[in-house]
A and B are shown apart, each in its own frame.
Chain A
Amino acid sequence: MNKMTLKTEGDRYIVVTRHFAAPPEAVYRAHTEPALVQKWLLGPEGWTMPVCQLDPRPGGKVRYEWANSTGQGFYLTAEFIELEPPRRIVHVERMHLPDPTPDNYVETTFEPAGEGTLMTMRMTLPDAEVRKQMLATGMEHGMEASYVRLENEIFAVRV
């Protein structure tokens, strides 16, 4: 039920869906209140978000800074474009690695589904060069685990 799906749409977009056992109002709050965002938007194991600033109104700015125990870090800036509480958020973001990646337009919707919420997030797929940078910067912590899983899922299938 809670399982996440991640699909590519053509060569340009990625669509992620996820069900949450809470109403859209709560899921929307968790995406727009800094004290809440700071608790979950951390990426792979081992990272914290010491700086979490966001101003949830059209044109409002966002700045997230992540750090890990070895002192590495990177940050993201974004601007909100449209907000329709509690149903929809449109924003544009870029990571600073430290050079900024191209703008990524992201649309996130929260629909009531049973007792909970179906979240759908549609984002722009970065090009090969940016993917390489993102892999090289700061994401190493999650990589080992994902390699292992990739091997288990794809390469170690018993035939």
Chain B
Amino acid sequence: MPSLDSAFSALSDPTRRAILARLALGETTVMELAKPFAMSQPAISRHLRVLENAGLIVRRVEGAKHPCRLADQGLKEIDQWLEMLRTALSRNYDRLDQLLAEMKSKGEESQ
């Protein structure tokens, strides 16, 4: 089980999210991954290392190539739960905003 903290911080970077988006289409080599980004292969490799250490992707060796793919389990398990929590809390606090506004206008009426 990778660290939840490292998975979360790995997901906080837009380039790494874009890499995950590309990998969602299927296994890809580092060279192919680097193409759409204005970035060198070593820079992409650094991002891949972060994603790998966070348990979000898996790399295998195929000659000189190192194709990457999504590590489904790590990503799904953590994100499903955190997204469920985020959704529930966001809805709660949006409702609380409304309630606080009502409390304020009632307080002003009674003064």
Chain A positions near chain B (C-beta within 8 angstroms): 2, 4, 6-11, 14, 16, 18, 20-22, 26-27, 29-30, 36, 39-45, 125, 128, 131, 134-135, 139, 142-143, 145-147, 149-150, 153-159
Contacts and interface: CB of A to CB of B under 8 A. Distances in A.
Contacts of B21: 154-159
A8 B4 contact: yes
Given A10-B5, A22-B100, A125-B4, A39 B88 contact: no
A8 B85 CA distance: 12
Overall SS of chain B's interface: helix
A56 to B, nearest CB: 17
A155 B100 contact: no
Nearest to A10: B5
B3 interface: yes
A128 B79 contact: no
Interface string B68-82: 000000000101111
B92 A8 contact: no
B65 interface: no
B18 A135 contact: no
A9 B92 contact: no
Contacts of B4: 8, 11, 125
27 contacts: A6-B89, A8-B4, A8-B5, A8-B8, A11-B5, A18-B89, A26-B103, A30-B103, A41-B92, A42-B91, A42-B95, A45-B91, A128-B77, A135-B84, A139-B84, A142-B87, A143-B87, A145-B87, A149-B87, A154-B20, A154-B24, A155-B20, A155-B21, A157-B14, A157-B18, A157-B20, A159-B22
Contacts of A9: 5
A77 to B, nearest CB: 18
Majority secondary structure, A binding face: mixed
A36 B37 CA distance: 50
B99 interface: yes
A53 to B, nearest CB: 18
Interface string B89-101: 1111101111111
A154 B11 contact: yes
A106 B99 CA distance: 23
B66 to A, nearest CB: 19
Contact of A39 (B82, B99, B101): B99
Contact of A21 (B5, B14, B17, B97): B97
B104 interface: yes
Contacts of B99: 30, 36, 39-40
